[in-house]
Amino acid sequence: MKKNQILLITIVCIATFIFVYSPHFHYQFPLHIDELHHITESIKLGKGEYTGGPWGYELGFHVVLLMISGIINLVLSYKYLPAIWAVLSSLTLFYVVHKKTKNFKIALFAMIFFASIKSNVNMSGLWFFTPLSFAIPFIFLYVYFFTEGIEKQNKKSILISLVIMAILLFVHPLSFLFAIPFLVIYALINIKYLKKEYKFFSLFLIIPLVGFLFFIYTSKVQLSNAISLLASILQFGTEFGVIEYTNSFLNIYSIIGYLTAIAGILVIYLSKKQKKFSAYMLWPATLLISIFIYRIIGLSYFSPHQRNIYYFAISLPILSAIGLFYILSLVKKIRINNLFKKTIYFTLLIIVLFFTFSSYFDIPKVVDIYHVLDNDDYQALLFLSNLPKSRVMAHPLLSAAIYPISGHEPVATVYFYEKSVIQSERGDFAFFGDKKQLTSYASRNELYAFFSLKDCIAKRQIFNMHKFKYILSKEKIDCGWDLIYQENNYIYQTY
């Protein structure tokens, strides 16, 4: 590779890092409750307290975080992980596209369009380091090696894809399950090779078998109930996310990105390279069908609607890159003065780049990022970390940070541990902690009521139900509990 090519790749990588890191310019903590949840699970894994729960199939990701935590402070350093991983994902995409097209510019353009994919708290995305974002480079790789292996009848490539798929079963199974429709269709297009090597391809039965056994282990269900339970789990309705929001396609990708992707598809058809790129056109096509089915009947299969939109988006950069390259190639073919031609070429390129990123930070308010804690909260939790471990009553959103920072257990936290849906103050839907603690919850959550009620008798009734030792509050509470900390937050000891 030439020095100027390495320089261009480096510039794109730096720009990608800056764009993905940008939400942290003025915020030093994890951005999403998902991130705090995964930090919590990795800490519990290290302490031997890991239960897995309904999200046990992400064990592999928690193992990765546990290893990282041996090097850095996860809570304070987590802000760097999304940007670092986005760069690695971008380089992986470059490798795949360059291998597929043998064209440096197309591969470089794919990196640029990949960096332009937007994030929000509903769809997730590159701004957050989660199992979904962690799986992205592996998705690029297993799709490439599987399709390349079948196209060139190369068993080694197919085995590599099989290994990557198997790894994802323990990290983020959805990042394999969503691809089943288009990979099956692609395999059927090449059915002659599959029939010829049916013994070899029977190895792929290992994936559902291992996945099924791992599901039984993590969910702790009996074999007789496992199939029906698994079938129901793989059918996703409107209850999957904390926030149910119908994302526009422009919430995830730019107009210019879509236009160049359409141009890319046209180029592939006109150049009669449909077979070579068939998987990369089936990928967005099958997801579009799934998205539209969901919007009609409210059900999505194999992967949730929110994730399908994101998987759809990461399929587009290669098509957009092909489209942009050939649009620019048309400019080169114009018979005009060479200087004028170059001026048109670079002007068009700058315009495309500008409109590709011009709406990057335009996020609907309901799915915009939120800050779980600030520095005052962090200092208060550090103070708690030096006290005997017990249970802490705090606002449910802040409660997500209690265990990762202080080691205390929150009375309840958002989203991950219970299937009772409760309306929060900001309009989101959230799930809260231990089922035994929540049997009396009605339309309004008692945790929010604890901080909004001025009546000390009502507060003590809630205390009697949940028996928490500490209270972490933004406002002073004069109900007879011992005030042990007051630095922009108040911490009370109840007994």
Residue 298 has pLDDT above 80, yes or no: no
Are 335 and 189 part of one and the same domain? yes
Mean pLDDT of the chain, nearest integer? 84
The Cβ of residue 231 has, within 10 Å, a number of other Cβ atoms equal to 10
Kindly state whether residues 395 and 320 are assigned to the same domain.
Answer: no
Query: Does one domain contain both 431 and 335?
Result: no
Looking only at the bridges linking them, the beta strands covering 429-431 and 421-423 are: antiparallel
Count of domains in the chain? 2
Band (pLDDT 50/70/90 cuts) for residue 96 is very high
201 and 111 in a common domain: yes
Of 303 and 214, the structure prediction assigns the larger pLDDT to 303
Q: Lowest mean pLDDT: which of 306-320, 344-358, 399-413?
A: 399-413
Considering the domain architecture, whether residues 327 and 384 belong to the same structural domain is answered as no
- How confident is residue 111, by pLDDT bands cut at 50, 70 and 90? very high
- Which is more confidently placed, 176 or 17? 17
Which of 331, 366, 401 is the C-terminal boundary of a domain? 366
Q: Quick one: pLDDT band at residue 449, thresholds 50, 70, 90?
A: confident
Share of the chain above pLDDT 70, in %: 84
Confidence of residue 483 (pLDDT cuts 50, 70, 90): very high
Sign of the alpha-carbon dihedral angle for 126, 129, 130, 133:
positive
Q: What is the pLDDT of residue 355?
A: 94
pLDDT at 282 over 90: yes
Give CA–CA dist 273/439, Å, rounded: 59
Across residues 396-405, what is the average pLDDT?
Answer: 88
Q: What pLDDT score was predicted for residue 264?
A: 95
**Nearest in space to 324 (alpha carbons), one of 97, 122, 92:** 97
Same domain assignment for residues 362 and 380: no
Burial of 429 (0-12, 13-18, 19+ CB in 10 A): middle
pLDDT of residue 297: 82
Per-residue pLDDT, averaged over 134-143, amounts to 96
Q: Are residues 271 and 395 in the same domain?
A: no
Q: Which residue has the higher pLDDT, 13 or 247?
A: 13
pLDDT at 431: 34
Q: Please identify, among 366, 400, 419, the residue that sits at the C-terminal boundary of a domain.
A: 366
Residues 99 and 238 in one domain: yes
Q: Are 432 and 417 in contact (CB under 8 A)?
A: yes
Q: Which range among 34-38, 300-304, 408-412, 434-438 shows the weakest confidence by mean pLDDT?
A: 434-438
pLDDT category at 230 given cuts 50, 70, 90 is low
Same domain for 182 and 329, yes or no, is yes
Query: Beta-carbon neighbour count of residue 137 at 10 Å?
Result: 20
Please give the residue range of the domain that contains residue 320.
3-366
Q: In this prediction, what percent of the chain has a pLDDT beyond 90?
A: 45
Place of tokens 């990123």: 357
Q: What is the pLDDT of residues 170-222, one digit of tens each?
A: 888 889 889 989 998 998 888 888 888 777 777 777 777 766 666 666 556 66
Claim to verify: residue 252 and residue 320 sit in the same structural domain: yes
Residues 177 and 69 in one domain: yes
Q: Give the model's pLDDT for residue 331.
A: 85
Whether pTM > 0.95 for this model: the answer is no
Asked if residue 203 and residue 115 are part of one domain, the reply reads yes
* Per-residue pLDDT at 354 exceeds 90: yes
Residue 424: pLDDT band with limits 50, 70, 90: very low
Of 344, 366, 388, the residue at which a domain comes to its end is 366
The helix/strand/coil state of 470 is strand
